[in-house]
Chain A
Amino acid sequence: MSVKTFNRGLFLPHYKESTEDKAIANIALPGEVVIPLQQHIGAPCKAVVSVGDKVKIGQKIGDSEAFVSAAVFASVDGTVTAIEPRSNFTGADVESVVIEVAEKQEEPSWSDRDISNMSGDDIRAAIKEAGIVGMGGAAFPTNVKLSPPKPVDVVIINASECEPFLTCDHRVMVEMAEELVLGAKLIAKAVDAQQLIFGVETNKPDGIEAIKAQIEGEEGIEVAVTDVKYPQGAEKQLIYAATGREVPPGKLPLEVGVVVQNVGTAVAVYEACRFGKPLYERVLTVSGDAAANPGNVKVPIGTTIEHIIEQCGGFKDGKEPGKVVLGGPMTGFAQTRLDVPVVKGTSGILLFSEEMLVMSEHMPCVRCSRCVDHCPMYLYPNSISMNAEKGLYDQAAEWGAMDCFECGICVYVCPSNRPIVQLVRDTKKAQAAK
């Protein structure tokens, strides 16, 4: 079996041992859920319910007429108690629908449709109706991504899960391989692609086997087994590893005839097409060295991270963590409060102890070249950071800041602990303002 990979990057300790073999569990419902009306890239939704309304699980509560947007749905049976701005995972206040969870929850009933005869337009319509977005973190509306203005010949399902600690995609692969493959086929059909590739890192052998068992003997479908290297799950790096194609700077995967979708998204597409089930719940990983009982859980969208942490046994030894991160440890968002809700793009809740954090002051760049060696985009993080630090944003852009997708490797390897990714963000902001 040949293992595929991309250039540069770095093997990271992946810390997946504590959760990779734990089956996806359900947790007790919270007292209320907070569902932001914007959980995606694009236009925010407007509430289509009012305070006092009784809502059913899967009922649409927010919608938008804009093409680039995604509807949001009630994730529980209950009563709308407020529609007001609430803090989200980025720290911004976002208009949200607050639902008090009813004591008695009814089993939702779904239709059962024949997916074999669905056309591309049928599939896109079902996806739009279900409010599906990319569940790997970026949360771009899926129906938009599957309406390509250029021909696509390859669909890649991103099952790399290269971020340390996260295992939710891994568990979905193992436990829901059939749904995953059916969803992936629907995605390929929607864009009329001839080839379907599952990109999986070698550290998920059971996931690779589960997918292979589903696609045995089928033409045009394969598993691309990739090296365990960060950031293998970055779109451009995955496309390069799986197909040898390089997406040009500043361009989308479409430029080389590829669409990439995440594992969770593919399963959501299957459920939307077959059952008409909207995206109102997701699987995520609770982990980190300060988590009492790490695991993978399926939770309603809008559940606060506080509730999920409590359901997973709280903090290890009852000791407060030093940091709480939503998403992966390399690209996720640090939280200042715990009443923020899980959204469609939340892949993990990570609790880190003080010991896990490096809080030392940063020093000047000593040009050790480690960032240059490992940058998967072949940029010069050293020169970017030195220039951006002095406010020389044009020079920072010349050394590649605009092509950076903020994977964080440069900061990880930096012996001077320099905030390079933050300086890249500053550069992008300054250049955009021009």
Chain B
Amino acid sequence: MSNDLSLSFNTSPHLRSKNTVQQAMYDVIIALLPISAVAVYIFGINAVFTIAVSLVAATLTDLVFRKILGRWNTPFDGSALVTGLLIALTFTVEASWWTLVIANVIGIGIAKELMGGIGYNLFNPALFGRVSGILFAGLFFNQVNTTFAPLSYQAGPVDVVTQATPLALLKMGAEMPPMAQMFVANQGGGLAEVSPLALLIGGVYLFVRGHIKWHIPVSIIGTVLVIGLIFAGPELAVYHILAGGLMIGALFMATDWVSSPVTPKGMIIFGVAIGILIMVFRLALSPTEGTAFAILIMNAFVPMIDRLTKRPVFGEAPAKAQAQAVSAETAGKPA
């Protein structure tokens, strides 16, 4: 025994937990399996096709941008797969394959990698990609579809095209599907809109695994419920929670680590603001994209929320209180 051992040297601490970003990302994918399964059950091969296209586009975008930006050697963290899956789930099975590709290229390539890579994105990459994809599709749909006509592909017949989504029904004041059906499995809207129950199971899994806290989902859903009760009545208030992208937004998008606040207080402010925005969009403006825009808008306020909710250092609050008490005491005394 002597000094020629090759001992590893670094500064304290020398113990680590088993937490890794990669593990967390795989847990998010696991949490998204129930909703993916219900979507496939309802939409069949078309849902499989939508998810597959998005995952391939996400992986390729990740690889290409890593190569271009010289991040080839950074560890594979699984975050691109999560974004790809989330993007797929926000679309309907009618979405063309190139819309999904655009959503992934913009979400992962621009909103994340060009912003500096994982950890540096201000906006949620999946939502940013989705909204961009929708915009592009709306602007260039005919043109692109003609250009790519020979390449357009649907795995199976699409039979849900004409059905209005529950969210649109809600806006029109039309008759809603039964509440229990909407909660468990209901056809209509995007892949993630088919089963609030399946999303809830995934959310609870993430909560139990310690990856998300309750504050953001509860404050978003709670705010939507309260505003719904006031302006739409008890029954429609519940439909507002079950319909559209609210559940996937509250449980999976707004809780994204990078683009949400770090303290419970900040999370509640963030969640309540998102809830208010969602209901403003839904009740006063368009029924679609409300949740996505609400979250993206609040993403931009996260640095400010973190700053405004900064908590005092241990020992600071009592010291201040004492100083105030002393100054109040001396102020009360006659000179």
A-side interface residues toward B, CB under 8 Å? 7, 12, 164, 236, 240, 246-249, 251, 306, 309-310, 314, 320-325, 329-339, 350, 352, 357-361, 363-370, 372, 376-380, 382-383, 400, 403, 406-409, 411-417, 419, 421-422, 425
**How long is the Cα–Cα vector from A400 to B311 in the complex, in angstroms?**
10
A338 contacts across to B, CB distance below 8 A: 1-3, 5
**How long is the Cα–Cα vector from A324 to B2 in the complex, in angstroms?**
13
**With A248-B316, A367-B257 given, is the CB distance from A325 to B14 under 8 Å?**
yes
**How long is the Cα–Cα vector from A389 to B293 in the complex, in angstroms?**
32
Q: A411 and B13: CB pair below 8 A?
A: yes
B181 contacts across to A, CB distance below 8 A: none
- Which stretch in B15-23, B145-153, B166-174 binds the other chain? B15-23
Q: A406 and B312: CB pair below 8 A?
A: no
Q: A364 and B117: CB pair below 8 A?
A: yes
Q: A334 and B7: CB pair below 8 A?
A: yes
Q: Tell me the smallest distance from the CB of A68 to a CB of chain B, in Å.
A: 25
Q: B120 and A364: CB pair below 8 A?
A: yes
Q: From DSSP, what is the main secondary structure of chain B's interface residues?
A: loop
Q: A416 and B21: CB pair below 8 A?
A: yes
Interface: B138 (CB within 8 A)? no
**How long is the Cα–Cα vector from A152 to B129 in the complex, in angstroms?**
62
Q: Identify the closest chain B residue to A336 (Cβ).
A: B9
B3 contacts across to A, CB distance below 8 A: 336-339
**How long is the Cα–Cα vector from A350 to B117 in the complex, in angstroms?**
38
**How long is the Cα–Cα vector from A329 to B315 in the complex, in angstroms?**
27
Q: Which of B6, B116, B119, B213 contacts A363 (CB 8 A)?
A: B119
Interface: B77 (CB within 8 A)? yes
Q: Which of A306, A324, A364, A372 contacts B7 (CB 8 A)?
A: A324
Q: Tell me the smallest distance from the CB of B33 to a CB of chain A, in Å.
A: 21
Kindly identify, within residues 1 to 51 of chain B, every residue whose CB is under 8 Å from any CB belonging to chain A.
Answer: 1-3, 5-17, 19-21, 23-24
A325 contacts across to B, CB distance below 8 A: 12, 14
B-side interface residues toward A, CB under 8 Å? 1-3, 5-17, 19-21, 23-24, 74-75, 77, 116-120, 211, 213, 257-258, 260, 262-263, 306, 310-319
A164 contacts across to B, CB distance below 8 A: 15
**How long is the Cα–Cα vector from A306 to B152 in the complex, in angstroms?**
72
A331 contacts across to B, CB distance below 8 A: 12-13
A sample of 21 inter-chain contacts (CB < 8 A) reads A240-B314, A246-B315, A248-B318, A320-B5, A324-B5, A330-B12, A336-B9, A363-B119, A364-B117, A367-B258, A367-B262, A372-B263, A376-B314, A377-B313, A378-B312, A403-B314, A411-B13, A412-B16, A413-B17, A413-B19, A417-B16
**How long is the Cα–Cα vector from A352 to B310 in the complex, in angstroms?**
38
Q: A248 and B7: CB pair below 8 A?
A: no
A361 contacts across to B, CB distance below 8 A: 75
Q: A369 and B17: CB pair below 8 A?
A: no
Q: A332 and B319: CB pair below 8 A?
A: no
Q: Tell me the smallest distance from the CB of B239 to a CB of chain A, in Å.
A: 33
A365 contacts across to B, CB distance below 8 A: 119
**How long is the Cα–Cα vector from A364 to B12 in the complex, in angstroms?**
19
**With A246-B318, A364-B118 given, is the CB distance from A412 to B15 under 8 Å?**
yes
Q: Tell me the smallest distance from the CB of A88 to a CB of chain B, in Å.
A: 14
Q: Which of A306, A310, A334, A414 contacts B9 (CB 8 A)?
A: A334
**How long is the Cα–Cα vector from A425 to B7 in the complex, in angstroms?**
23
Q: Tell me the smallest distance from the CB of B131 to a CB of chain A, in Å.
A: 22
Q: A378 and B8: CB pair below 8 A?
A: no
**How long is the Cα–Cα vector from A364 to B211 in the complex, in angstroms?**
17
Q: A382 and B262: CB pair below 8 A?
A: yes
Q: Which of B12, B117, B310 contacts A332 (CB 8 A)?
A: B12
A364 contacts across to B, CB distance below 8 A: 116-120
Q: Identify the closest chain A residue to B319 (Cβ).
A: A248
**How long is the Cα–Cα vector from A412 to B12 in the complex, in angstroms?**
10
Q: Tell me the smallest distance from the CB of A253 to a CB of chain B, in Å.
A: 11
Q: A366 and B313: CB pair below 8 A?
A: no
Q: Which of B16, B19, B74, B260 contacts A370 (CB 8 A)?
A: B19
**With A360-B75, A367-B258, A411-B16 given, is the CB distance from A309 to B8 under 8 Å?**
no
**With A249-B316, A329-B15, A379-B313 given, is the CB distance from A323 to B117 under 8 Å?**
no
Q: Which of A236, A330, A368 contacts B14 (CB 8 A)?
A: A330
**How long is the Cα–Cα vector from A325 to B8 in the complex, in angstroms?**
10
**With A358-B16, A359-B8 given, is the CB distance from A415 to B23 under 8 Å?**
yes
Q: Identify the closest chain A residue to B5 (Cβ).
A: A320
